Structure formats: structure tokens, C-alpha cells
Amino acid sequence: MKILNIRSVGLSLSLEKGLPLGSGLGSSAASAAAAAVAVNELFGRKLEVKDLVLAGLESEAKVSGYHADNIAPAIMGGFVLIRTPTKKMRAALPAEIGMSHHVWNCSQAGALVASVLQGDLVGLGKALSSDRIVEPKRAPLIPGMVGVKKAALEAGAFGCTISGAGPTAVAVVDSEDRGVEVGERMVEAFWKEGNLKAVAMVKRLDRVGARLVGSVPR
Amino acid sequence: MKILNIRSVGLSLSLEKGLPLGSGLGSSAASAAAAAVAVNELFGRKLEVKDLVLAGLESEAKVSGYHADNIAPAIMGGFVLIRTPTKKMRAALPAEIGMSHHVWNCSQAGALVASVLQGDLVGLGKALSSDRIVEPKRAPLIPGMVGVKKAALEAGAFGCTISGAGPTAVAVVDSEDRGVEVGERMVEAFWKEGNLKAVAMVKRLDRVGARLVGSVPR
């Protein structure tokens, strides 16, 4: 509302949240995106996408820190490459990284971007699965994660890693059927190897981003 | 010749080298590529590109270390992303890297790949110019480099950095004329700020790679 230059209206939003909290799925950003888009719709849709991201960033800053990693893709859809990352350190991650790991992960980052742009699912999965810095530090904190990844790959996923800071695990597949199968194997592994009760969801990448899906006049 | 399974022939090659030695331009790889392609042409052109790279790698290993950073693009042309980088440490580079620098450089690597695939020269130049790990360590070892980069960007280059381990500086431009202008400014800066006599060359990216350009029957 500040960006819209509206200062004299009070607004109360109620949110119907479809994502679990603290899951590493970026649910706080999803909420912030919904709020930004809803307010923009209410007041004449005057903001550009860039402004919506900036507005969402303000909300994110309150709960998750000032970074666009989640809010930008939540609003813009598709894959979003963040070029000016936050300096904020994340829990469980090392402050210093060995040169060979750095070069390795940089290569995977490049391969991941190339795979996305070329629609290469095999390459995308491989790059996603090849993190030598973050995943090795976080995986041991998620009971069963190593077995879950193994199960996903064995069931035919192109790649598997931790979503955000976890504990959600994410795998890449190319069909709903395969997704259901991979999901079942992952849930099984979480239970057997981590003693964790998990649920699996198969979702298609949203390329549009946050938008008005309906409105109820009062 | 080993890959070609030719063991009974002695071969002497003479090389007409158009690149200076120890320049950071990958001249040893260029020579290795020329040799691999020449031998393949002499013996019936039986090798695939992959084999040519492997053959070139053996030569590179003798002089520059076992890494495909230069030999792969020299043989294949265009931009080549190396996904399994060498573990060999390069001189003057830190063994450990801060997490924020790592994340920053990874983002630039991703942006660079995206720019190449999308033909975005502005993005390519920006990514090339944004290295926070290698260039800051190597630039102080090259007299005048900081001023040379500044001069290149001011003269309209999209980006400028050190080529390989240096001392060559490389800049990205979109026309021959602009290239000549940028080159002159860079040579000037090398002289004024580094007391170094430099020469500039404007070259178009070769997308084909090493190939037979002519043969003289004896």
C-alpha cells in the first residue's frame, strides 16, 4: 500500500494457507505473494511485477529475512535466478568453503541454468542432486534424508535434494504417475529410515506466479 | 595415435603458433587441439569429438595439468561448460572461500550460462565482470589491471576480466569498431597505469572449433 501511495485505508486480510509452516517450501513467501497480489488487485492493479516483488520482500523481511529467493519466484512463476543474494548466513552452513567444492558447485549451478533453459530434465535432475556444500551439511539433520534421496533416484526421479532448509525433500519427475510412485517410495523411506511420517505431493511447476483466481463481492 | 590404435608409425609435427606463450589465453590447449585434429585427419578421420578432447587432454596434462577447461572449447568451439572440474589448485587463489562470496559467484555463473544461451551480451558482460573470488586475487598481480578494466568498461565494453590466469585482459564487445576502440583504451591503460607494453586483438568467438583449414601434399 505504501508503494501504491495509499495511506488512509486500513486493510485486514485473511489467508487460506495450503502449505505447511517451517517446511522449507517457502510458505512465508507464498503468503507474502498472495497478500501483495491481492492488495494490488483491490486498488486498481497499478503495480508492476517488480513492485510486487519489492512489496513481498518487505513482508518476507519480517519473518524470513530480506531475500528474494522465494518471493520472486512466488510472484513471477517459473525459475528465477537471484543475482544479488543476501549476505545472511543460513543455519548449519559452513562459513568457509573449500575451493574445489566451490568450483564444483558453481559448475552445477551453470549446468542447472543451462538445463532449465534447454528443457533438459536429466541435466536438471543431475545438477540438483550434485550439491557438495549445502546438502551434505543439512541432510544429516533430517532423519532418513539420505535414504529418501536414494529411494527417489531408484524409483526413477531425475534428481532429488532438500527443499530450502528442509525438512521437505524435493524430487524431479516428468509425469504424474512417476511422481506418485517416487513419492510413495520417499514416504516409505522417511518412515523406515527416519521414523518420520511424511506426505507426498506431486505438483507441476507454475510458470505464471501469484494471480487473482476469483473474487467474492460483498 | 594411441586412441586410433596406430602404434607402428613415427610422426613429427611442426606447429605454427599464432598465440603468445604464458598469456592466459589457453595457447597450450590450442596447440594440443591442432595436433589432435591434424593426426586424426592424417589417419582417416576416425575419431569423434569426444576422443579428440581426450587425446588433447593427454597433451594438456603434460604442460598445464589434466583439465579440460581450455582443450574442450579449443576442439569443440563455442562456449563449453566443464561439469567435473579439476581438483588442482591454481596459484594465487585462496584455498577457502567465504559463503557469501561463494553464493555470489555461483549466481554469476548461472547468469553467465543464461546469458550465453539467450544471446544476452549485456548479461554476459555483467556476469564476466562480477567475479569476487578469482579476479580480486589475481588482478593485483597484473600491473595496471584495475585501470585496464575501468578503461574497457568506460569505452563501452559489456564486461572485462582477466583471461585465464592472466596477464591477458579480455573484454566483450559487439562490433569490430567498438573492439578496436576498447582495445586502444586498454593498451593505453596498461601503459599508463602498469608501465606495460600491450597489444590488443579483436576476435570473433569461434563456434566450430579446431579443424583442417588446408593441406599441402608432399
Is residue B3 included in any domain, yes or no? no
Q: Would you please indicate which residues of A are annotated as catalytic (active-site) residues?
A: 60, 86
Mark whether B136 and B162 lie in a shared domain.
Answer: yes
ipTM: 0.86
- Per-residue confidence (pLDDT) for residue A180, from 0 to 100: 98
**Domain final residue, candidates B92, B109, B136:** B92
Range of the domain at B82: 17-92
Q: Distance, in angstroms, between B89 CA and closest chain A CA?
A: 8
- Per-residue confidence (pLDDT) for residue A214, from 0 to 100: 87
Is residue A1 included in any domain, yes or no? no
Contact with chain B for residue A85, Cβ under 8 A? yes
Is residue B183 included in any domain, yes or no? yes
Query: Which chain A residue is nearest to residue B95, measuring alpha carbons?
Result: A99
Q: Is A107 in contact with B133 (Cβ distance < 8 A)?
A: no
Choose the mutation target among B102, B107, B122 for the interface with A, i.e. most A CBs under 10 Å: B102
Confidence of residue B88 (pLDDT cuts 50, 70, 90): low
Q: What is the CATH number of the domain that holds A128?
A: 3.30.70.890
Residue B140 corresponds to which cell in the numbers above? 593485483
Mark whether A67 and A119 lie in a shared domain.
Answer: no
**Domain final residue, candidates A56, A76, A92:** A92
**Domain final residue, candidates A41, A58, A92:** A92
Q: Would you say residue B102 has pLDDT above 90?
A: yes
Contact with chain B for residue A213, Cβ under 8 A? no
Q: What's the 3-state SS for chain A?
A: CCCCCCCCCCCCCCCCCCCCCCCCCCHHHHHHHHHHHHHHHHCCCCCCHHHHHHHHHHHHHHHCCCCCCCHHHHHHCCCCCCCCCCCCCCCCCCCEEEHHHHHHHHHHHHHHHHHHHHCCHHHHHHHHCCCCCCHHHHHHHCCCHHHHHHHHHHCCCCEEEECCCCCCEEEECCCHHHHHHHHHHHHHHHHHHHCCCCCCCCCCCCCCCCCCCCCCCC
Contact with chain A for residue B98, Cβ under 8 A? yes
Is residue A218 included in any domain, yes or no? no
Is residue B10 included in any domain, yes or no? no
- Per-residue confidence (pLDDT) for residue A56, from 0 to 100: 93
Mark whether B130 and B186 lie in a shared domain.
Answer: yes
Mark whether B97 and B79 lie in a shared domain.
Answer: no
Mark whether A177 and A190 lie in a shared domain.
Answer: yes
Q: Calculate the average pLDDT of chain A.
A: 91
Query: Which chain B residue is nearest to residue A107, measuring alpha carbons?
Result: B83
Q: Is the dihedral of CA B123, B125, B129, B135 positive or negative?
A: positive
Q: Calculate the average pLDDT of chain B.
A: 91
Is residue A104 included in any domain, yes or no? yes
Rounded Cα distance, A171 and A128, in Å: 9
Confidence of residue B145 (pLDDT cuts 50, 70, 90): very high
- Per-residue confidence (pLDDT) for residue A86, from 0 to 100: 59
Query: Is B191:B159 a contact under the CB 8 Å cutoff?
Result: no
Contact with chain A for residue B207, Cβ under 8 A? no
Q: Is A105 in contact with B106 (Cβ distance < 8 A)?
A: yes
In chain B, % of residues over pLDDT 70: 96
pLDDT, one tens digit per residue, over B9-21 is: 888 888 888 888 8
Rounded Cα distance, A56 and A61, in Å: 9
Mark whether B190 and B97 lie in a shared domain.
Answer: yes
All residues of chain A having their beta carbon less than 8 Å from the beta carbon of residue B87 are: 100
Mark whether B88 and B111 lie in a shared domain.
Answer: no
Mark whether B25 and B77 lie in a shared domain.
Answer: yes
Q: What is the CATH number of the domain that holds B87?
A: 3.30.230.10
- Per-residue confidence (pLDDT) for residue A67, from 0 to 100: 86
Query: Which chain B residue is nearest to residue A127, measuring alpha carbons?
Result: B83
Contact with chain B for residue A122, Cβ under 8 A? no
pLDDT, one tens digit per residue, over B31-55 is: 999 999 999 999 999 999 999 999 9
Q: Distance, in angstroms, between A64 CA and closest chain B CA?
A: 17
Mark whether A63 and A99 lie in a shared domain.
Answer: no
Is residue A10 included in any domain, yes or no? no
Mark whether B69 and B157 lie in a shared domain.
Answer: no
Is residue A105 included in any domain, yes or no? yes
Q: What is the pLDDT along chain A (218 residues), one digit of tens a residue?
A: 888 888 888 888 888 888 888 888 888 999 999 999 999 999 999 999 999 999 999 988 888 888 888 999 999 999 999 877 655 556 678 899 999 999 999 999 999 999 999 999 999 999 999 999 999 999 999 999 999 999 999 999 999 999 988 999 999 999 999 999 999 999 999 999 999 999 999 999 999 999 998 888 76
Closest CA to A163 of A8, A34, A52, A22: A22
Rounded Cα distance, A112 and B134, in Å: 22
Q: Is B110 in contact with A105 (Cβ distance < 8 A)?
A: no
Residue A190, CB half-sphere, CA atoms under 13 Å: how many? 19
CA angle A140–A141–A143, rounded 5-degree value: 80
The one-letter code for the residue type at B13 is L
Mark whether B117 and B190 lie in a shared domain.
Answer: yes
Domain count, chain B: 2
Q: Distance, in angstroms, between B215 CA and closest chain A CA?
A: 38
Q: Is B81 in contact with A105 (Cβ distance < 8 A)?
A: no
Q: Distance, in angstroms, between B147 CA and closest chain A CA?
A: 25
Mark whether B131 and B56 lie in a shared domain.
Answer: no
Contact with chain A for residue B133, Cβ under 8 A? yes
